[in-house]
Amino acid sequence: MREVVIVDGVRTAIGRMGGSLAGFRAEDLAAMVIEGLVKKTKIDPQEIEDVIIGIALSWHTAVNLSRWAVLKAGLPFSVPGLTVERQCGSGLQALVLAGQRIQAGEGEVFIAGGTESHSTFPYKLARPIQAFQYNPPGFINWETAPRPEWNLVMGITAENLAEQWKVSREAQDKFSYHSQMGAIKAIQSGRFQKEIIPILVPQRKGAPLSFADDEHPRADTTLDKLAKLAPVFKKDGTVTAGNSSGLNDGAAALLVMS
Q: Is the pLDDT of residue 128 over 70?
A: no
More confident of the two residues 136 and 5: 5
Residue type, 89: G
Confidence of residue 1 (pLDDT cuts 50, 70, 90): confident
Q: Provide CB contacts within 8 A for 32, sequence distance 6+.
A: 12, 24, 73, 197, 199, 251
Percent of the chain with pLDDT over 90: 82
Architecture per CATH, domain 1-152+191-219+245-258, reads as 3-Layer(aba) Sandwich (3.40)
pLDDT in tens, 78-97: 999 999 999 899 999 999 99
CA distance 105 to 37: 23
Span 228-251, average pLDDT? 96
Residue spans of the domains in the chain: they are 1-152+191-219+245-258
pLDDT in tens, 24-41: 999 999 999 999 999 999
Q: pLDDT at position 142, please?
A: 63
pLDDT in tens, 179-227: 999 999 999 999 999 999 999 999 999 999 999 999 999 999 999 999 9
In contact, 220 and 73? CB cutoff 8 Å? no
CA distance 215 to 180: 11
